Amino acid sequence: MEHVIADPLGTRRVVVTGAGGQLGAALLEAFPGAVALTRGAWDVSMPPPPLDAGLVLHAAAWTDVDGAEADPQGAAAVNAGGTQHVAELGIPFVYYSTDYVFDGRKRDPYVESDAPGPRSVYGRTKLQGEAAAVDAGAWIVRSSWLFGWTGRNFVRTMLALGRERDEVAVVDDQRGSPTYVGHLAEATRALVELPAGLWHLAADGDCTWAEFAEAIFEEAGVDCRVRRITTAELGRPAARPAYSVLRSERPGAPRLPHWRDGLRECLARLLPD
């Protein structure tokens, strides 16, 4: 089922789950007056409380990719069960998914019609969440490599390491599109005027993690070298897609700015004048 909400922002009360996270913070800015639900207000792995809302922006998620390998039931309870709980509210909602639903074997951008094939517990549980969202007629937003001015993310980690070290080792055999949460939140405003269903919304352009790190240091004026390594050398528990650039094939899809523009906007908020 696909639908368009008439005047979703003019008269309807918007609720943001996962409001304590980096995407939640951006959504609260993009949707003034939205009700913020942190995990303390609603742990989405539990049944939902009564909500007076016309639109739910479901940003709550288990995002610890490696931790999900050690606790698959916990990750599923949040990413799959939590989305089912949102669906049970019977309120139109937006579900935020991930590039990790793909196996990364392509070498050209993934579009909505490409078959998923997650290689990690995290990817599988997010795909299960997508299934619950499809059944509810929700908007499903796949995005990638999120970063923002709050929370734990690659940009904040690199800035911290770059101030402490002369060199950092960063993976150079994974390619994606780093997406600024501020841009994704603004794109969500446009999206909810469009039919529900599956949409790919990620930053324009692409890079490897090592290239992203080099750009962070360059833009921030941090004197730190990047030593390029392989995913195998990093040795993380969860498999990562080697290539996960996302693009939309749907007419009228919101287009996000280039990842480098997002980086500059993020750094403007993170760094002192």
Q: Which pLDDT tens digit goes with each residue over 61-76?
A: 999 999 999 999 999 9
pLDDT bin (cut points 50, 70, 90) of residue 11 is low
How far from 106 is each of 115, 153, 233, 256, 259, CA to CA, in Å?
Answer: 11, 25, 22, 22, 21
Is the pLDDT confidence value at 191 over 60?
yes
How far from 239 is each of 19, 124, 169, 171, 228, CA to CA, in Å?
Answer: 28, 12, 18, 13, 19
Q: Reply yes or no on whether 180 is catalytic.
A: no
Tokens of 5: 């909400």
Query: Span 74-103, mean pLDDT?
Result: 98
For residue 12, what pLDDT is reported? 74
Alpha helix ranges (H) inside 12-120: 22-30, 65-70, 72-76, 82-88
| % residues pLDDT > 70 (the chain) | 96
pLDDT bin (cut points 50, 70, 90) of residue 98 is very high
- The DSSP output letter for 118 is -
Beta carbons of 91 and 48 less than 8 angstroms apart: no
Question: Minimal CA–CA distance to 192: which of 99, 92, 53, 97?
Answer: 92
Catalytic one of 95, 100, 110, 122: 122
The whole-angstrom separation of Cα 103 and Cα 209 is 17
Is the pLDDT confidence value at 211 over 90?
yes
Query: Span 39-57, mean pLDDT?
Result: 95
For residue 9, what pLDDT is reported? 55
Tokens of 34: 């939205």
As to burial, measured by CB atoms within 10 angstroms (0-12 exposed, 13-18 middle, 19+ buried), residue 164 is exposed
Is the pLDDT confidence value at 8 over 70?
no
Question: Minimal CA–CA distance to 96: which of 33, 188, 29?
Answer: 188
How far from 260 is each of 93, 147, 148, CA to CA, in Å?
Answer: 29, 12, 13
The CA-based angle 244-246-251, given to 5 degrees, is 160
How far from 119 is each of 103, 105, 109, 236, 270, CA to CA, in Å?
Answer: 6, 11, 18, 13, 33
Is the pLDDT confidence value at 226 over 50?
yes
Please provide the distance, in angstroms rounded to a whole number, between the alpha carbons at the two ends of the chain: 49
Which pTM does this prediction carry?
Answer: 0.94
Structural domains of the chain ordered from first start: 14-153+178-205+243-258 (3.40.50.720)
Query: Span 190-204, mean pLDDT?
Result: 98
